[in-house]
């Protein structure tokens, strides 16, 4: 039976809390060997424990794994097996669509539609029947709404639709189709139509704010509108660097750099959790890997490489800002970093389109006017972080 829009809270409590071996951590998978974790260990060995402690505020959190290689099967299998052994759920980002980023800063991706189908099949093979979350192709749908040069809308949307259906054959996989961020596509109805053609109604929902800085409040307001246009779809929000919200467009004008690229004075956002306090938001996730550079702007290393100074800025920014009140929780609930050990939500009835796995994809909508196409995320206007 398809998972549909079964909230991640139910999935995680059912899969993790009920079956967790005594003493083992539960929730989203934490990679023990990220660049941040390695740097924290080096600093601690050198006696710089204060800085190491700051970096552990990133290194000890679950972050997404970006899959840009043509054959991710072995890496995905290794991670999902390791995570399952610790009763955890990994988060992956599928980021290999042909003409990725429409040939801009993150140009690349699979060399053809058939190569992409093979990539998705290999990803599904690596997932097996183990639990995982997949965020599908950051910016691919919003770029298509805005107009992706040399790429037919119908072809790209059909390819994404196929990817959703392939990944949803994996019984433990939740899929969220990327929908950009709250400051980009202003025409909600147009975005909803394109997401529908991309298969979002066969997925578990959509993802917002990947690699961006929009506040959680703004993302939820935008997400609720988009959800209504999609008939009540659930969604997840990237909160990795949105603690201080987006940088002003004219920030640091003397540098001549784009405001979105390694902007100063930003902060970590809410740590990953399924306790969002919002009925439509399945989870806050760290999809962008905080501490990895957006590109060689403002003195940063190439995109995707670890940058200790910027990571420390993000952590210090999060410690300096006033903390927002937490969502109400019952006395038996754990800290915000972990899902609550409650009974899983019942699985909702299948929708008709889920029962017809072989149904043809929705036709691609006609182009709609887009009132804004701001370069708002590293996956949009700079190399995204694999």
- By annotation, the residues acting in catalysis are 101, 139, 294
Contact call for residues 235 and 226 (beta carbons, < 8 A): yes
* Helix/strand/coil for 225: helix
Among 36, 43, 81, 85, which residue's Cα sits nearest to residue 61?
36
d(CA 324, CA 346): 31
Among 316, 302, 304, 224, which residue's Cα sits nearest to residue 266?
316
CB atoms within 10 A of CB 28: 28
DSSP per-residue string spanning 40-61: HHHHHHTT-HHHHHHHHHHHTS
Sign of CA dihedral 8, 11, 17, 21: negative
For residue 60, the Cα-to-chain-centroid distance in whole angstroms is: 18
Count the residues in the chain.
Answer: 386
CB atoms within 10 A of CB 122: 19
Close Cβ partners of 14 (under 8 Å, ≥ 6 residues apart): 344
DSSP per-residue string spanning 312-334: HHHHHHHHHSPPPPPPP--TT--
Contact call for residues 40 and 382 (beta carbons, < 8 A): no
Beta bridge partner(s), residue 28: 89
Secondary structure, 3-state, 147-184: CCCCCCHHHHHHHHHHHHHHHCCCCCEEEEEECCCCCC
Contact call for residues 294 and 19 (beta carbons, < 8 A): no
Among 350, 345, 234, 330, which residue's Cα sits nearest to residue 12?
345
């Amino acid at each position: 039976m398809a998972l549909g829009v079964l909230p991640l809270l139910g999935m995680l409590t059912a899969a993790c809390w009920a079956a967790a071996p005594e003493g083992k951590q539960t929730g989203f998978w934490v990679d023990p060997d990220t660049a941040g974790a390695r740097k924290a260990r080096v600093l601690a060995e050198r006696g710089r424990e204060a800085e190491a402690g700051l970096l552990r505020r990133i290194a000890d959190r679950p972050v997404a794994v970006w899959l840009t290689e043509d054959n991710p099967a072995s890496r995905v299998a290794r991670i999902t097996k390791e995570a399952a052994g610790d009763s955890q759920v990994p988060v992956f980002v599928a980021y290999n669509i042909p003409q990725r980023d429409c040939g801009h800063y993150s140009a690349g991706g699979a060399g053809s539609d058939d190569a992409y189908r093979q990539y998705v099949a290999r990803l599904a093979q690596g997932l097996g029947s183990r639990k995982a979350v997949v965020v599908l192709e950051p910016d691919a749908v919003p770029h298509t709404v805005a107009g992706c040069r040399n790429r037919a809308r119908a072809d790209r949307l059909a390819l994404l639709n196929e990817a959703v259906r392939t990944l949803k054959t994996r019984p433990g996989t939740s899929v969220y189709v990327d929908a950009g961020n709250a400051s980009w596509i202003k025409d909600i109805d147009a975005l909803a139509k394109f997401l529908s053609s991309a298969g979002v109604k066969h997925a578990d929902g959509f993802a917002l704010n990947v690699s961006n800085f929009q506040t959680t409040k703004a993302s939820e307001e935008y997400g609720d509108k988009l959800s209504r246009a999609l008939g009540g779809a659930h969604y997840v929000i990237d909160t990795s660097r949105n603690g201080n919200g987006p940088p002003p467009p004219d920030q640091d004008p003397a540098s001549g750099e784009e405001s979105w690229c390694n902007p100063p004075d930003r902060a970590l956002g809410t740590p990953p959790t399924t306790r969002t306090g919002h009925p439509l938001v399945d989870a806050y996730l760290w999809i962008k890997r905080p501490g990895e550079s957006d590109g060689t702007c403002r003195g940063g290393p190439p995109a995707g490489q670890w940058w200790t100074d910027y990571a420390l800025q993000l952590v210090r920014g999060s410690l300096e800002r006033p903390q927002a009140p937490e969502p109400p929780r019952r006395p038996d609930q754990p800290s915000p970093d972990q899902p609550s050990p409650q009974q899983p939500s019942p699985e909702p009835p299948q929708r008709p389109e889920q029962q017809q796995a072989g149904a043809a994809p929705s036709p691609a909508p006609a182009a709609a006017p887009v009132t804004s196409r701001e370069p708002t995320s590293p996956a949009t206007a700079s190399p995204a972080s694999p």
